[in-house]
Structure 1
Amino acid sequence: MRRTDPEGHGPVRYGPPLPDDGLPVLPELSAVLAAAAGRAGSEPVGGGSALLDAACGYWERRGLAVAPEHAVAAPGAPALLLALTAAIGGDVLVPRPCAAWWAPYARLLGRPAFHVATPAECGGVPDPYALLETVRRVRTEGGDPRLLVLSVADDPTATVAPPEVLHETLEAAAGEGLHLVSDETWRDTLHARHDTVLFSPAEMLPDRVTVVSDLAGALLPPGWPAAVARFPAGEAGEELHARVLDVLTALDARVAGPVAAAAGYALGEPEPVSARAAAVVRLHARVAQAAHHTVVAAGALARPPQAGRHLYVDLGPLRSALTPHGVGDAQELEDFLTARLGMPAPGGHRFGDELGALRVRLSTGPLLGGTDAERAECLDSPEPLELPHVRRALIGLRSVFDDLRDDAQRREPPR
């Protein structure tokens, strides 16, 4: 990748994309898109009635009833977050680490984005005491914190916030008068659905939470940009909804007509979509578990992945083995592992972590094979980890991390 900054710490315009599932598009979804390809126009700003009705049905099945006039659609979650940040105003609070695309929209609007430490149990949700202290400090320094962005099912850490942790954080946020944006892009990718309790912040704090879901998380290919937002009921929610529509109108942020048709179909969750989504989750959960075992066995640190198609790895314990390779920060670690693994390994600094921390996000999609045929075979196989191309990919991952472990052990001082 071409560097564009003078310090040599990564291209300024590089933002790691959402972890892709790596699989061919569902044929039924392709058929819907193809059937709508003759639509020359786009959706109205905010989404047409059919798309919004489908979004409302999707949320209602998850216990979040909403009327179409309290919903909005846009070409991807970034457009929604940009509009929400502009409409709410003030300073923005985000957990550390957080999704790579959250903070840039605050900076684009000239708004400070303050990172708040997360609890030991999970990522995605700020520690309540750290949140209170950050709000106090920002206000003391003349700031105006108004918006907190969080995610219960998290990118980059792949964790799910326990309900009790989430409740304490929401109480702290409500007490400080913050509005919350809950990024629920990954809520439908829980690896152990029956063993993992996921609550939406909108269930706990209905008057102060706007829910945003990018359909690339579980329902659409990432190249078909569509996202939906659910606003609180009541006067404040209606005013925010109107302001967000104003911003989306100024941006002319419309969902393309054929993509809207596919999004509406996917949000309806017919059997082909539901079956494919469940199969994708099972596949990536198994690959993520194998990858997690590999990195932990080598001496790295990583919370067990609970959602998504990724894991977040801390190679701090292997620093002594990385130093001879010229790796002393997250950008150098990103370059090193991307070259060694032959797959993207964005450093933790992309997600708001300190540059000096040796952390990376690893995605499971690249471990499924190099061709559509190989990846499709993973989806159909009862034992995808035994497929030759998956075994080779996992062996390659293990080889890189085992080499680092062995180098670290050789450099340990004698006892």
Structure 2
Amino acid sequence: MPSEGLLFKEDVILSWMRDRFLQDLVQGRKDTGADLKENLSRLNLNPYYTYPALALLEPVSTSEDEHEKILLIERMRDYLQRQVTGGVVVFMDEQSRIGLLFSWVSKEFLEAIQNTLSQHFSLPVNIGVGKPCSHLYDVNQSYRQAARALHNKFYRGTGQIIYYSELRRYVTFGEYPAESEKELLDALRAADSAAEIEEAVGVFYQGLLQDGPIDIKTMYELTVRLLIAIEKKLLANTEYASAYEKFEIMSIVKMQTLQEIKTYVAHFFAGVREVMAPDQKESHRSIIKKTMHYMEQECKSASLQSVAQKVYMTPTYLSLLFKLNTGKTFIEHLTDIRIDKAKELLKMAHYKNYEVAEQVGYQDPRYFSQIFKKKVGLSPSEYRESVGK
């Protein structure tokens, strides 16, 4: 009788083979001969579908660590494989998204899947759904459509089920709206609060979309041009005038929704207002003090993005101010806080190592152990033994 370890290894290998086979299928790399259904059956996968279709799922993770994001996707995939029935096939695609191959007649199950995942993992889940196909070997078309539908979360927002058939065509955008930029600049100079800045930013983007959605790449380009132009006009005589061009562009193009961009832009201008404050140095010290307080209180879930929102600064400006005032980067200081808290928890016998890792914000115990040993010189277990003597 095979050992438990061997069975586990065989399961891992089978999952890998299934993922590889389905990745080739949805990319159109598989031969479309008569052996397709036979190959599916050999991998213990359902070979029979009534109008096959593809859906792509991705969680809205707040983690900035790519390793942790992939681990989350793998846990979701494993959880879904235990939950789905009716011949639905679950796999991971080459972009580390969860794919679902299913019969179009049962598409209503997607809403239940989304709710189950969101509740179990306490995260919103995006789902893009392609159109049904007549034949299984054409499912690569549905896969491309699902990917495009998932990309449209940029406009639809997070936690949505987006069908390719519902997408609107992008309209061609004309010249850069210089007049709208001037109106926004005037509104920023007159604003008395962060709420007024947010409202002015919303009006600007509403004007961009008055004729319909525009290409997402164009939206990124317009946002970058807007921020560069207004920053130069507002911060021409300050020591932070070059900070944006070096850092902000990459931050913008990584954003996945229009709402995220609008929030970022509003916080950016709120940060500009802080930089322009009459008592600038005192204002900065106050910001750093508040930042450290939030990092201490919320070290488990704190991130540069989340703390920046609380102190009404853009992440880039907060990162710059933090380094200038403390000599350490935000992540370095947050890591120090987490390791110090982990040391205190490790002194308590009733906490296991993986529980300590979760308490201080690390979902992967192995990654936590690596960071802890790098900082302390001992592994968590070694440290626990050393303080227990």
- How high is the TM-score relative to the length of structure 1? 0.27
Q: Larger helix proportion, structure 1 or 2?
A: 2
- How high is the TM-score relative to the length of structure 2? 0.28
Q: Larger strand proportion, structure 1 or 2?
A: 1
